[in-house]
Structures are given as structure tokens and as C-alpha cells.
Structure 1
Amino acid sequence: MNNQAMESRMIFVTLLLSASIRVIAEDPYLFFEWKVTYGTIAPLGVPKQAILINGQFPGPKINCTSNNNIVVNVYNQLDEPLLLSWSGVQQRKNSWQDGTPGTMCPILPGQNYTYKFQVKDQIGSYFYFPTTGLQRAAGGIGMLQVHSRDLIPVPFDRPANEFAVILGDWYNKGHKTLKRILDSGRSIGKPDGIVINGKSGKFDDLAAEPLAVMESGKTYRYRICNAGLKNSINFRLQGHTLKLVELEGSHTVQNMYDSIDLHVGQCLSVLVTANQVPKDYYFVASSRFAKRPDVAIAVVHYANGNGPASPVLPAAPSENSAGIAWSMNQFRSFRWNLTASAARPNPQGSYHYGKIEITRTIKLTNTRSLVNGKLRFGINGVSHVDPETPLKLVEYFGLADKVFKYDIVKDEPSNGPAVVAPSVVNAVFRNFVEIIFENHEKTIQTWHLDGYSFFAVAIEPGRWSPDKRKLYNLQDAVSRHTIHVYPNSWAAVMTTLDNAGMWNLRSEMWERTYLGQQMYFSVLSPAKSLRDEYNIPESQQLCGIVKGFPKPTPYAGT
């Protein structure tokens, strides 16, 4: 073989090895194809038009591992626009795929769109749901669970099995009817009941498949989400204790509970050991802080068990003011497991958030008002409306001044008249911020921030003031993405705004979200580099005033 041929062969082998290394180095891909359709179901005995995914409610479960790339091809076979959001999944540098009306054009009827995102350095229990209109009241909801990679130790033994449990309140009225009620300026009122994995949870509906089957002596993981619209839910398992091990993507100190409050939009994992007499037991879910609580049950069956569950259900915590105190104390008992490894680059416990200087304090109050005789909700007096063109797109194309004004919501509540407008707060990239949620109403609130986890450092009664920082947990507050605020109380969270993009901060009570209790954080990287934010995907749909526009020059790498 001559020198030129040998040199060519060496170059070919080098390129082949290089390509092989790239293939090996890339994280695995999981592919899903979903057809979203209508179907009629009647969880509470009243037939209703539901939103099904591949004919299912709840929809298909996404079972993945940290750093997996998720590709979901969604076919919209409804007669209305559709968007799906991946609640709590931190899409690093990728608000393009966040699935909210402020970041993406909707998937129009008869069309499809492929979501592509990575569950980067993340573990935990999450759910997906539709964000368009009141579709969340009709279904389109499913579990997304992210396991730790094998090389990352988990602070508990591998369970014998895992069970996905999606709880939620349910309205017998269809989602289009609920939307018309809100558009007319009225409230949709109290839900009609609670469902467990889409089932009614009534004694006369328990002949169906059990929620879970356990073998004596084994331990099981229950991943549980409250994907409802309004009600906090308390859950318990008859005769068994619950060991909390994960809360919204963070390993927790493993405390034992007889029952746990789960507020709207929240997910967690508990371990249950099958250490009782082999027979059936009831999993019980009941609404909290309601004058007339709704109750739903499901059967947990012991393999080779003999005997029905006792009709005497375990009681919920007290529903008077002591009940709120009970729930608040339970929140204080939730602690980050500082000795556990984690999926994130910085292991849990190495991020000393209590020693970082706060660069900005934002105090947000949920507001309720009438605008032209119609009910509106807001934040600091500003009630958000979605423009025709998603906020992320108009900002990216340099047309923000034609659609919205930044910073209508101020860092302190104001007493002026309600303002109805697109609401975007300009945030400084990588600033460490403190956000105070103050609730002056008589109903509980739940808040969620897309794209981030924050440290939930305090929930306390009364009004917040700077001296209340002495009450903060600055050691082991759980890193999570939702925070609830009890009536006439406040909550404080801290986070570093290091995820560039346009990110939705919203009430998880969807009636309030639809009528304006939400806003967006615009977190822009001055470098305009791929190090900080991905380019707009080639397949991204354009609509509104940017429809047909050529895409701007892509960001460069570093």
C-alpha cells in the first residue's frame, strides 16, 4: 500500500472513529406519536366530551431517564387549536418548546407538531397537560416520570414496582361550556367531584381494575400528581404509612406521614411497604379547605389477598382553621435531602443559596376585580391577555414594541385600577431574585414557574415584610417549581434566573390563569450565544404578525 493510500485510509478511520464517538456520546432518544382526539367519558356519571391521547385518559405515560431526549409528534385531531406543556420539566435554554401561548404558535386543527426537548440533569415526577383555553378541564393529561441514571445513587432501594396516580377535581360541564362561562364574566364555581386516574372513585365504581397490586413484604413507589383546576387534595392509604422520598424533582428527607396535602399542580413520590394483612385497602383522596369536601377512593389490592377493604375510611385532617395550621406545619416538615446525590451538575447540598446576595425582590399579590362588569384575575393589578402572536416570537424578531410593554407589573403591588394587557417582566440574566407571593384572599393559591426550580424558603400567615426573612429556611428548603399560599398568608421563594428564554409564571388554578393571573419573565442573555439559549428550531411554526418572516441569523456557538 503506497503512502497516499495509507494516509487516506488513516483519515477515513479517524473520521469513522470520530463519528462513532459522537454517536456514543449523544444521550438516548425516546420517540412518541400521539393522536389527540375527542371522546365521551363519564367519570361522575354524566357523559362529557373529553380530550384523549391515543384514545386514553389519562394519556400515555412518558417513562424516561435523566438526560434523555424526548421527541413527541402530536397530531391535533380536535376542532380547536392545541398546545401541550410539560409542567415542571426544566427545558434548559429552550422556552421554544414550553407549550404556552406566550412562547409557541398553537397546533391548528388537522395539523401536527413535533416537540423536541431534553430532561437535562433532572429527575422526578411531572405531568403534561393542554394549555389552550379550558382544555385542561377535559383531559389531555398524563404522567412524565424521570428516573436517575444508573451511575447516580438513589437514596432508597429500588422499589418492586411504580404506580402513576393522577388526581384532580372534575367538572361535569364540558370545557367549551366552562370557557363560555368565563368569557361571559362569571366564575365556573365549585367542581363536581374528584377523579383518580380518570375514574369516579365511588363505592359503586370499584369493580374496575385496581389502582395498584402489591405483594406482601415488598415496597412500592407511588408517583402522585394533582392535575386539577381548583382544589387542594389530601390523600392517604388505608392502614399504611407514606414515606415521602421525592418532591417535584428533589430527593427529600424521608419523613413518614399518615396523609399528605397535595396542592394544584404539584407532584411527589411516596414509598409504601405492603406490611398489612393481605386483602384490599382503599386509597382515599379528598378535597381540602372546602365547605363540603369531595371524596374519591380506589382499591389497592394485595396479591393473593383475601377480603374486601374496610368501609371505614381514614379521616382527613380537620377542615377548620386548625386544618390550615396542620397543612402549613406539614410544608415546614418537607426538607431537601442534602446527603443524596442528584441528577444536576451541582449535587444537592452544594448550592448554598442562603449565602447568595439577593439582587432583586419582587412582591406579587393575586388580585380579583371587575373590568367592564366581567370577572378578571391578575397580579399586582395587571390581568394578562395573550396576544395573537406569541410574546417569545415578537421579542425574537425585534417587534416587542408593537405588541407589549415591559414591566407593567411592578415589583410592589399597586392600588390603581386593573390593567388588562400582555404582561412581561424584564429580568436580568443570572440575577438571584427573591419572589414574595402574598395572598389577601380567603382561598388558597398555587403558583408555578416554568423553566426553573426555586427554593421554597417560607410559608407563613399574615403580611410579608423584610424582617420576616428571619423565618426563612436557608439550609435545606426543597428545590421545586410550585408554591402554595394559604388564605391571608405569604410565601417566599429564591432562584437564580440563569435559564434564558420567555418563561411563564402563573396560577395553577386554571380559571384564574385563563382570566389573567399570570405573566412572563423575559430572561435575555446579553451574549446571544448557544451557550445560553438554543436557536429557534427549524420546524418552529410562525403565526400572527411574524407569519412568513425569514428567520433571523442563528446564534453562534462559543
Structure 2
Amino acid sequence: MVFNTKMIFAVLFLCVSATCVIAGDPTLEFEWKVTYGTIAPLGVPQQGILINEEEFLAGWHSRRYVPHPPWKELYLSLPGQGPDWNLLLLPTTALHRASGGIGMLKVHSRNLIPIPYEKPADEYSVLLGDWYNKGHKSLKTILDSGRSIGRPDGIQINGQSSKVGDANVKPLFTFEAGKTYRLRVCNVGLRLSVNFRIQGHTMKVVEVEGSHTVQNDYDSLDLHVGQCMAVLVTADQTPKDYYFVASSRFAQHPLSTVGVIRYANGNGAASTELPPPPPENTKGIAWSISQFRSFRWNLTSNAARPNPQGSYKYGKINITRTIKLVNTRSSSNGKLRFGINGVSHVDAETPLKLAEYYGVADKVFTYNLMKDEPQEGDKVEVAPNVVNGTYRNFVEIIFENHEKTIQTWHLDGFSFFGVAIEPGKWSPEKRKNYNLLDAVSRNTIQVYPNSWAAVMTTLDNAGMWNLRSEMRERA
């Protein structure tokens, strides 16, 4: 598709980097067979993408982008140090995510690196999000015709959807009374933010996108498209069934679904009285921003090495560059065009990095077509959007959303500090409101309607990396 909201960071430097693998590191081999098959997350049969004959592998990124040619073996060198985390595997092109093919690989830290809480009795993956009964090919055809993919048909949890009172619902997972469990929850949808909650149970947030957080308890949590977090849940209620509830946020037409958490040796169906959702509209945005601010970096827990996360003083680093990005939606020649700062990215026939490697980049694309500040006017240029960055520069990126819908942004290859989200428009004076002490290091950030978000990152990973919208019709 040729209507992308995307920017490519080309981080240039003059040195040679090497990846070292320690002798004796264990090697694990996985074979993932990708095929088409019939799936029905909302009860409507459709063609889906299967991995080892399953559309959702809820048991096996780091939101790191791994370019991979088809039908080839893929070797990943994963860090054996650092906090427990998950590698979320999902398609990122051509709307394939709309047809499944999603999974999670759990990565546990070595014993040398302790986690800042007692080891849970078990852990479960929860892959939730909006779902369309049309497959990825049909959705692509809709976009190619110049229309939006429209609103989703429902919400799924681990590839299934249920209503309150449905009989014979397969439980998502089973708890034993008195034990604590870790749930790794990811929003793998295409469009909608989702709030999740569990009947009668609180959730303690312990990790957001690979970073340990200050441990606070929540009755419900907002999770935006492309985001992941880990929570601890203690089975401290009467042994019976309880509903896990997922509902849409900031949507004109609310959607919801439930799954069942079953206590071992429990007796009794889940109550039909569900925990209430958070507020919507303006109050809901204020509520969600307040929750975002409550997520704080755990400064004393481990990072990728035995030293604590807080040993990296990002708030004391001088900003060397500010990039302000404004997302737009427009129409050109009967097509939807999503862009940033007047440029709508389109992939060139020659892969960009390949053109750069062979010294023919000037024949394929133009560097810095997009400026660091949004330009006046509504004109949108359709072209490869490649912005040069300087190795090890400390960059401030401002996302400003003038539209009526929430946006989510993801940066491949890096983590950044989400230092602020506020309503209105950004100005340099807003820096006084930044969290320069314990903002969470992460790789996605949400931007509410008519609001802005600020992130900071060091360009310390040489290469060419995507900064893109997680709203799939835009990417």
C-alpha cells in the first residue's frame, strides 16, 4: 500500500560494530510453519494465518523489528541478561496482522539478574485487541479503493470471544487459590485502544515494554495498539470462575468481550455483574493520561546488567535535536493519504538499505525530505521518507495529534523515555512539565486526540529504523 504514516531513521556513524556471542551460550531451536487455515475469533469462519496450525500462539518486541526474507531460516541472538521480557511475534506488513499469525516468545533473565518481586507460580500470555471478520486481503482491497477499513467487528482475547453467560466457554487459564500469577498482556489489534480488568481482582503492574516499573495496583488498565505490559494477579478470592473483561476505549461504537479465569477445584459460575469500565470522552482521556503518568521507572531494579535502571540519568543529557511530528489524514487522487509533516511514505522498488549499501541512494530516495518542523499547508508528498540522524545524538521527538482519534507510535531498534503527554499543542515551555527522573523506557507511545506526547532517545543503534504508526491502516 502507498499511504503510510512512517519515517525511516538512518543513523549514520563511522565505526565498525560487532556482536559477541559468549561461548557456551545455550541454543534453542524453534520451527514455525506458516500456513493459511480457517479461523473464527468472533465465531465467523474466515481465512487466517496459522503458525504451527494455530492463529494465536499465546505461549511461546522486545518490539524489535527483524527484517526477514521469506522461506529462510532466522537466527536471533537474544540477550541473556536483563529483566524478564517477551518477544512479540506478529506480521507488520500488508495488514497481515488482521488474519492472525501472532505469538509470544517468553525470555527469562539469568539467575544472576534478580527480578524485583517473588517468582510467580506461573505466567500466562494474553493477546487481545480488536478484530475484523474480513481478512487481510479484503481489508487491503478496501484501502486500495480509497476508503478506510472502518470500525472493527469485535474484540478477541487469545483468539476467542465470548459473552456473559455463554455456556461451555473454554477458560483462558486456571488459578490455584492463594498463588500469584504473572499475566503478559499485549494489544495486538489494528485500531482500538482496549481497557482490561478482572472481576474481583486487582492487578499489580510490574513491567511495561521491557522495563521494570514502580509496583502499583490497578482495578483496570488501558492498553493501546502495539503496547504490552506485565501484571501480577493473586488468586485471593472464593474459588470459582471470574470474568476477564476487555472493552474498547474512545470508540464511537463500544465493543467488549469476556474470557473466563477458572480456579482449580472451584465451584460456581462467574457473576454476571461485570466491573465497570473507566469513563469515556474528555473525562476518559484525563483518566487515561493520569494512568500513564502513574507508570514510573523502577530506579532501583536491574537493567540489562546488574546495575540498576536508574543509573542511566537521561534527564541530565542535553538535547541535541528536536523533531516535531504532526500526523495528517487527507485525500489525493481518490486515495487516502496518511502522512507526517507533509510526507506520506511509500516503499521504493529497491530496498532503501540496499540502495545505500551499493551507493545508489540518490537514485532511489532523497534524504531529509521531511523537515523537523511541520510545514504550512495541506500538501502531502508521496515518497520514501528517510531522515538522517547522527550516531549517539540525544533526540527529543514530539508527536502532535490534531485529529479526533487516538494514535499510537512505535520506534524500531530503540527504546525511548515517554516524558510527557498533555492535551493541547506543544511548545518549548512545556518542557518544564517533563518527567526527567523516572519516565518509563519503552518503545510505543499513545497520543490522545488534540494532544501531544514527548519522548527522548539516544540514537545509539546504527542502521535504518522505522518510526511508524501502530494504527495499521496508516502503516
Give the TM-score normalised by structure 2.
0.92
Distance 1:333 1:24, change over 3 A: closer
| Corresponding position: 1:403 with 2:364 | yes
RMSD: 1.6
* Secondary structure in structure 2 of the residue aligned to 1:470: helix
- The CA deviation string for residues 157-202 of structure 1, in whole angstroms up to 9 with x for no partner, is 0000001000011001121010011011110000000000000133
CA distance in structure 1 between the partners assigned to 2:296 and 2:229 by the alignment: 13
- The CA deviation string for residues 393-443 of structure 1, in whole angstroms up to 9 with x for no partner, is 111222211211111111000124100001111010110000000000010
CA distance in structure 1 between the partners assigned to 2:72 and 2:66 by the alignment: 13
Counterpart of 1:25 in structure 2: which amino acid? A
Task: Specify which of 322, 339, 343 is matched with residue 283 of structure 2.
Answer: 322
* Secondary structure in structure 2 of the residue aligned to 1:490: strand
Number of the residue aligned with 1:266 = 227
Number of the residue aligned with 1:197 = 158
Contact 1:434–1:494 (Cα < 8 Å) also in 2: yes
Counterpart of 1:116 in structure 2: which amino acid? Y
Contact 2:327–2:338 (Cα < 8 Å) also in 1: yes
| Corresponding position: 1:457 with 2:455 | no
Contact 1:53–1:60 (Cα < 8 Å) also in 2: no
Contact 1:225–1:262 (Cα < 8 Å) also in 2: yes
Number of the residue aligned with 1:118 = 77
CA distance in structure 1 between the partners assigned to 2:166 and 2:74 by the alignment: 37
TM-superposed deviation, 1:143: 1.1
Distance 1:180 1:217, change over 3 A: same
Contact 1:126–1:248 (Cα < 8 Å) also in 2: no
* Secondary structure in structure 1 of the residue aligned to 2:56: coil
CA distance in structure 2 between the partners assigned to 1:457 and 1:45 by the alignment: 41
TM-superposed deviation, 1:88: 3.5
CA distance in structure 2 between the partners assigned to 1:23 and 1:268 by the alignment: 29
- The CA deviation string for residues 366-408 of structure 1, in whole angstroms up to 9 with x for no partner, is 1111111211101111000112222121112222112111111
Contact 2:82–2:113 (Cα < 8 Å) also in 1: no
Task: Specify which of 90, 101, 105 is matched with residue 144 of structure 1.
Answer: 105
Distance 1:23 1:490, change over 3 A: closer
CA distance in structure 2 between the partners assigned to 1:159 and 1:381 by the alignment: 48
Contact 2:169–2:260 (Cα < 8 Å) also in 1: no
Counterpart of 2:41 in structure 1: which amino acid? P
Task: Specify which of 333, 340, 343 is matched with residue 379 of structure 1.
Answer: 340
CA distance in structure 2 between the partners assigned to 1:117 and 1:451 by the alignment: 14
| Corresponding position: 1:474 with 2:442 | no
TM-superposed deviation, 1:59: 3.0
- Number of corresponding residues: 453
Runs of 4+ off more than 4 Å: none
CA distance in structure 1 between the partners assigned to 2:406 and 2:167 by the alignment: 31
Please list, as runs of the form range in 1=range in 2, the aligned pairs for 1:493-512 lying within 5 A after superposition.
Answer: 493-512=455-474
Task: Specify which of 128, 144, 156 is matched with residue 183 of structure 1.
Answer: 144
CA distance in structure 1 between the partners assigned to 2:55 and 2:151 by the alignment: 22
Number of the residue aligned with 2:331 = 370
Could you list the runs of 5+ residues in structure 1 that have no partner in the other structure? 1-21, 63-86, 91-96, 514-558
Contact 1:282–1:297 (Cα < 8 Å) also in 2: yes
Distance 1:381 1:244, change over 3 A: same
Give the TM-score normalised by structure 1.
0.79
- Rg comparison, structure with higher value: 1
Counterpart of 1:30 in structure 2: which amino acid? L
Contact 2:420–2:455 (Cα < 8 Å) also in 1: yes
CA distance in structure 1 between the partners assigned to 2:302 and 2:150 by the alignment: 44
Number of the residue aligned with 2:26 = 28
Please list, as runs of the form range in 1=range in 2, the aligned pairs for 1:515-526 lying within 5 A after superposition.
Answer: none
CA distance in structure 2 between the partners assigned to 1:295 and 1:56 by the alignment: 23
Counterpart of 2:170 in structure 1: which amino acid? E
Q: Using the TM superposition, name which of 406-415 and 255-264 deviates more.
A: 406-415
CA distance in structure 1 between the partners assigned to 2:39 and 2:198 by the alignment: 27
Please list, as runs of the form range in 1=range in 2, the aligned pairs for 1:106-505 lying within 5 A after superposition.
Answer: 106-107=69-70, 112-120=71-79, 121-123=81-83, 124-203=85-164, 207-344=168-305, 347-416=308-377, 417-505=379-467
Counterpart of 1:452 in structure 2: which amino acid? F
Counterpart of 1:36 in structure 2: which amino acid? V
* Secondary structure in structure 2 of the residue aligned to 1:457: strand
* Secondary structure in structure 1 of the residue aligned to 2:230: strand
CA distance in structure 2 between the partners assigned to 1:59 and 1:307 by the alignment: 29
Counterpart of 1:477 in structure 2: which amino acid? A
Number of the residue aligned with 1:42 = 40
Contact 2:128–2:155 (Cα < 8 Å) also in 1: yes
* Secondary structure in structure 1 of the residue aligned to 2:141: helix
TM-superposed deviation, 1:209: 2.8
| Corresponding position: 1:53 with 2:63 | no
Q: Percent identity?
A: 69
CA distance in structure 2 between the partners assigned to 1:328 and 1:195 by the alignment: 25
